[in-house]
């Protein structure tokens, strides 16, 4: 079984959100404050609700506030979990959750409602039921095998590895199948060692030192105090909880006698690598649990794995998660705001969260009905830089490097700074806008909810230009609009700044000989054509853009930003 659909209502910043999950790996990405942690905590509240000790509770501060009203009522929090059954036997084990839909498909449902009435006892009340009808029962036998394992962004593996009742090592070793007879045999061997003469005399000697002083500190009558020092009563589980993990100092090739090995304590290691060790222990624990004969559902929740890992190690970490995904041994949900992870993942695994006017929205790439060629194109083209569009408040798609360099500077000139507004300028190195446009709209109305502008040339006078312009115009939707330069971007720059010396100084830097020829042309349109032609190749374009950018940052006065660019920036913002 696996969690197929999760509905959240009125929880923190989320008013209503439906998320569809796949069997193995699922990646949720989004900007800060887009609801990633809220989703993880909603799942922890649902599946961790039955675990002891509980590490998360629903409180008054979790109830959503409608920021458009002052005197609004507090609506109930609801979580609805829908599990897909792959084995009919699972319906028998989780019978209290069992549902058969109108098409005869078997599934499992689990529902939660949290109520808060500030006029009464000011306590959060919880209702939980299984199946389709509210009021259904949920026994401990069923609830106890619905589990989640949470790896938080701010986790402290040094603390989590210390011997205690929640030691992850203990959890791992206790899942290794051992009969009671085998456990007793292991314990007997340890107890025999501790009862040997040397140990007995050592413990007795310390006991004697205590009694020497205790004899003087207590009554010498029937109330005389006596003590006996010994090891705790041995139980297998308690003994296992005292396991620790250490790091060998020397390579095994250097060791002749195992006694020669020395060890670093776990706290002496770096935090990032310790998180990998901890994650490895958790994965081992879940895999071992899945091998047991008792049916369980284990959901692994990983929040911001990039928090302690540099980009190359993020790649390694994520590549292993993808390998686990192929085996579908267990379900994993990862949240992230790392472009590295967004660029490396299979796009069909991605869910993008956006906070639009205080409302959390989700877009799942697998729901966008992208054509196979678009999916392949984006998968190959979205590198770490371009995948930042998934985290942006708006997107401007441009043809080449010149626009990518200059538009952020232009936006400052018109006092509409795209960087301060969280707008991403994406250079697609060509005119294949349709692949990106499909991320923002499709036939079902799905897509990213922020605005996207396409900046492109109309290539007036060139063969096929009219057809290409019509194709780009056909991409337009409510939140995606194309804006066209007359002829080319470079033509627009000069036609709008024919008397601006800054522009000519930048041209002179890369084409000192052609500069004299340029300034001799009297007609502005002819001058603009000549200018655009001479910086038409990519090398000249990038050099010119850098030269102009440097000058505009020092002296932006009197520079006129082409109107089509200004309109595009206004639209996106």
Helix axes 524-534, 512-519, angle to 10 degrees: 170
pLDDT value, residue 548:
96
Q: How far apart are CA 398 and CA 427, in angstroms?
A: 5
Mean pLDDT computed over 377-402: 90
Q: How far apart are CA 342 and CA 344, in angstroms?
A: 6
The answer on 430 and 327 residing in a single domain is no
Closest CA to 342 of 326, 324, 363, 327: 363
Q: Is residue 255 part of a domain?
A: no
Closest CA to 266 of 249, 246, 244: 246
User: In the predicted model, is pLDDT for residue 370 greater than 60?
Assistant: yes
The answer on 305 and 375 residing in a single domain is no
Q: 27 by DSSP, 3-state: which?
A: strand
What are the pLDDT digits (tens) for 515-554?
999 999 999 999 999 999 999 877 788 999 999 999 999 9
Q: Is residue 246 part of a domain?
A: no
User: In the predicted model, is pLDDT for residue 48 greater than 90?
Assistant: no
Compute CA distances 550 → 354, 415, 509, 556, whole Å: 34, 18, 12, 10
Closest CA to 549 of 386, 385, 410, 397: 410
Antiparallel, parallel or unpaired: β 124-130 and 246-248: unpaired
The answer on 111 and 26 residing in a single domain is yes
Confidence of residue 442 (pLDDT cuts 50, 70, 90): low
Q: How far apart are CA 518 and CA 541, in angstroms?
A: 16
Sign of the CA dihedral 433, 437, 439, 444? negative
The answer on 566 and 456 residing in a single domain is yes
Sign of the CA dihedral 370, 21, 275, 176? negative
Closest CA to 514 of 492, 486, 488, 536: 536
User: What is the DSSP code (8-state) at residue 75?
Assistant: P
Closest CA to 347 of 325, 375, 319, 383: 375
Domain count for the chain:
3
Give yes or no for a contact between 100 and 106, defined as CB atoms under 8 angstroms apart: yes
Q: How far apart are CA 117 and CA 120, in angstroms?
A: 6
Residue 330 belongs to domain with CATH number:
3.40.50.300
- Write the CB contacts of 445 (distance below 8 Å, at least 6 apart in sequence): none
Highest mean pLDDT out of 137-151, 250-264, 349-363, 429-443: 349-363
User: In the predicted model, is pLDDT for residue 323 greater than 60?
Assistant: yes
The answer on 222 and 107 residing in a single domain is no
The answer on 141 and 180 residing in a single domain is no
CA 351-354-356 angle, to 5 degrees, is: 150
192-201, 371-380, 530-539: which range is least confident on average?
A: 192-201
**Predicted TM-score (pTM) of this structure:** 0.83
Query: With 0-12 CB in 10 A as exposed, 13-18 as middle and 19+ as buried, what is 416?
Result: middle
User: What is the DSSP code (8-state) at residue 477?
Assistant: B
The answer on 546 and 429 residing in a single domain is yes
Q: How far apart are CA 306 and CA 304, in angstroms?
A: 5
pLDDT value, residue 413:
96
- Enclosing domain of residue 93: 2-162+272-347
Buried b (16+ CB within 10 A) or exposed e, 95-111: ebbbbeeeeeebbbbbb
pLDDT value, residue 201:
84
Confidence of residue 222 (pLDDT cuts 50, 70, 90): low
Q: Where are the beta strands (DSSP E) in 199-296?
A: 246-248, 263-265
Name the token pair of 280.
Answer: 């490895």
The answer on 145 and 10 residing in a single domain is yes
The number of angstroms, rounded, from the C-alpha of 355 to the middle of its chain's C-alpha atoms is 15
Buried b (16+ CB within 10 A) or exposed e, 459-469: beeeeeeeebb
Q: Is residue 525 part of a domain?
A: yes
The answer on 297 and 392 residing in a single domain is no
pLDDT value, residue 224:
62
pLDDT value, residue 116:
87
Give yes or no for a contact between 371 and 438, defined as CB atoms under 8 angstroms apart: yes
User: In the predicted model, is pLDDT for residue 159 greater than 60?
Assistant: yes
- Write the CB contacts of 418 (distance below 8 Å, at least 6 apart in sequence): 394, 396, 407, 408, 411, 425, 569, 572, 573
Closest CA to 344 of 363, 359, 323: 323
Q: 16 by DSSP, 3-state: which?
A: strand
Which of 232, 247, 264 delimits the end of a domain?
Answer: 232
The answer on 125 and 60 residing in a single domain is yes
The answer on 386 and 499 residing in a single domain is yes
Confidence of residue 294 (pLDDT cuts 50, 70, 90): low
The answer on 52 and 152 residing in a single domain is yes
138-142, 211-215, 442-446: which range is least confident on average?
A: 442-446
Closest CA to 26 of 293, 251, 349: 349
pLDDT value, residue 424:
95
Which of 284, 316, 347 delimits the end of a domain?
Answer: 347
Q: Is residue 34 part of a domain?
A: yes
């Amino acid at each position: 079984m696996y969690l197929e659909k999760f509905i959240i209502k009125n929880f923190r910043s989320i008013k209503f959100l439906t998320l569809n999950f796949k069997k193995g790996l699922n990646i949720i990405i989004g900007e800060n404050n887009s609801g990633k942690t809220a989703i993880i905590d909603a799942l922890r509240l649902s599946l961790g609700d039955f675990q002891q000790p509980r590490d998360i509770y629903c409180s008054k501060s979790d109830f959503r506030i409608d920021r458009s009203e002052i005197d609004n009522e507090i609506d109930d929090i609801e979580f609805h979990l829908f599990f897909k059954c792959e084995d009919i036997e699972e319906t028998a084990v989780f019978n209290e959750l069992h549902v058969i839909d109108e098409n005869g498909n078997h599934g499992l449902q689990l529902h939660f409602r949290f109520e808060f009435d500030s006029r009464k006892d000011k306590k959060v009340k919880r209702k939980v039921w299984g199946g389709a009808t509210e009021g259904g029962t949920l026994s401990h036998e069923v609830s106890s095998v619905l589990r989640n394992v949470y790896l938080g962004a701010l986790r402290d593996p040094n603390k989590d590895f210390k011997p205690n009742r929640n030691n992850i090592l203990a959890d791992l070793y206790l899942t290794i199948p051992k009969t009671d007879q085998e456990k007793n045999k292991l314990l007997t061997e340890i107890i025999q060692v501790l009862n040997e003469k040397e140990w007995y005399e050592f413990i007795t000697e310390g006991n004697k030192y205590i009694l020497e002083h205790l004899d003087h500190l207590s009554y010498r009558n029937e109330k005389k105090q006596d003590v006996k020092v010994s090891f705790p009563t041995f139980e297998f589980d308690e003994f296992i909880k005292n396991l620790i993990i250490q790091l060998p100092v020397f390579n095994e090739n250097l060791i002749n006698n195992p006694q020669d090995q020395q060890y670093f304590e776990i706290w002496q290691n770096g935090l990032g690598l310790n998180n990998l060790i901890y994650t490895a222990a958790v994965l081992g624990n879940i895999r071992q649990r899945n091998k047991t004969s008792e049916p369980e559902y284990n959901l692994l929740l990983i929040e911001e794995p990039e928090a302690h890992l540099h980009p190359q190690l993020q790649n390694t970490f994520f590549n292993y998660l993808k390998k686990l995904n192929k085996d579908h041994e267990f379900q994993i949900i990862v949240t992230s705001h790392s472009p590295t992870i967004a660029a490396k993942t299979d796009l069909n695994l991605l869910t993008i969260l956006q906070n639009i006017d205080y409302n959390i929205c989700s877009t799942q790439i697998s729901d966008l009905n992208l054509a196979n060629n678009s999916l392949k194109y984006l998968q190959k083209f979205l590198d770490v830089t371009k995948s930042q569009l998934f985290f942006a408040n708006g997107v401007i798609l441009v043809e080449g490097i010149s626009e990518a360099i200059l538009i952020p500077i232009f936006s400052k000139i018109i006092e509409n700074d795209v960087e301060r507004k969280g707008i991403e300028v994406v250079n697609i190195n060509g005119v294949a806008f349709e692949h990106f446009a499909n991320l923002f709209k499709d036939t079902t109305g799905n897509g990213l909810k922020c605005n996207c502008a396409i900046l492109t040339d109309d290539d007036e006078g060139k063969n096929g230009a009219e057809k290409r312009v019509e194709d780009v115009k056909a991409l337009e939707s409510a939140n995606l609009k194309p804006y066209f330069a007359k002829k080319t971007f470079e033509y627009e720059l000069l036609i709008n700044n024919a008397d601006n010396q800054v522009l000519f100084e930048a041209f002179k830097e890369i084409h000192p000989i052609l500069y004299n020829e340029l300034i001799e042309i009297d007609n502005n349109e002819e001058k603009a054509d000549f200018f655009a032609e001479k910086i038409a190749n990519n090398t000249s374009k990038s050099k010119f853009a850098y030269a102009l950018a440097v000058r505009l940052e020092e002296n932006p006065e009197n520079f006129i930003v082409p109107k089509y660019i200004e309109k595009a920036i206004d639209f996106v913002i």
